[in-house]
Copies of this chain bind each other. A is one copy, B any other.
Amino acid sequence: MDDITIIKLGGQVIDDEDKMNKALAGFSALNRPKILVHGGGKTANTLLNQLGLEQQLINGRRITNLESLRVVQMVYAGLVNKNIVAKLQSMHCPSVGLSGADANCILAEKRPVRDIDYGYVGDIIQVDSSVLIKFIEHGLTPVICALTHDGQGQILNTNADTIATEVGISFAKNYKVTLIYCFEQSGVLTDTEDKSSVISDLHPGYFQQLKAAGKINEGMIPKLDNAFRALGHGVNKVYITHYQSLDDLSDLETLTATRITLFEKNEK
């Protein structure tokens, strides 16, 4: 084993059984060492609402108090993670569902309070790629949900893109890592109303330029920051693409996707 593919599944795929099944069919057929990282979709918010709990926001950033951590933990590790694992087993992709606490695979610290107290949010300290490799060597594909732990008994909420990124980086020293963020669009769009406006290659200069022109969707910015961080820390290839791209990853060069690069094509 000298290469690994890390797939992050997020967006509407999580909340839509049909889309999820399509994505998992593609994923399970991928005949290479692989890891799945998934977000929680909108279910946690729906459940918070059903329980009469309000999603706390400060400056548009989500705050994870104890009550919302409980809900997030139930939805991510209980509902979504186990549904995915059961589905993958049925697709002949033996897998094991993990939070960062399981096998101590992702250790984090509660985000220090500066301007904002984000609550029970974990900033990753260390990913133990060696234990993930052991699972893979035993034929078990890790399915990681967006939870970490602090080593002191506390589960923490951590963004799934960030988890995928840090898992990718943890493998980059010893493996050729391909990191693919999948959702319901074919890549990063310059016009969210126009699904064909996919940027094929995105390097930091172009990103700054588009961001300044207000052409990058707000929600896409942290994902792209993660993508550039991954490349800067040794991850080999990073793509943002549609979950249906998982059906055929045999030729990444011809993939309809946004390929993230550190340099302009002729600049490298």
Question: Residues of A with Cβ closer than 8 Å to B?
Answer: 50-51, 70, 73-79, 81-83, 85-87, 89-91, 94-99, 101-104, 131, 134, 138, 140, 147, 149, 151-155
> Distance (Å) between the CB of A235 and the closest chain B CB?
26
Contact A82 B90 (CB under 8 A): no
A74 CB → nearest B CB, Å: 4
Q: How many copies of this chain are found per oligomer?
A: 2
Do A79 and B89 touch (CB < 8 A)? no
> Assuming A51-B51, A94-B104, A103-B96, is B74 touching A153 (CB within 8 A)?
no
Given known contacts A73-B82, A77-B77, A82-B77, A97 and B89 CB-to-CB distance under 8 angstroms: no
Interface CB pairs A-B, < 8 A, 22: A70-B79, A73-B78, A73-B82, A74-B75, A74-B78, A74-B79, A77-B78, A77-B97, A82-B99, A82-B147, A85-B102, A85-B149, A86-B153, A86-B155, A89-B104, A89-B149, A89-B151, A90-B151, A91-B153, A96-B98, A96-B102, A96-B103
Closest to A89 in B: B104
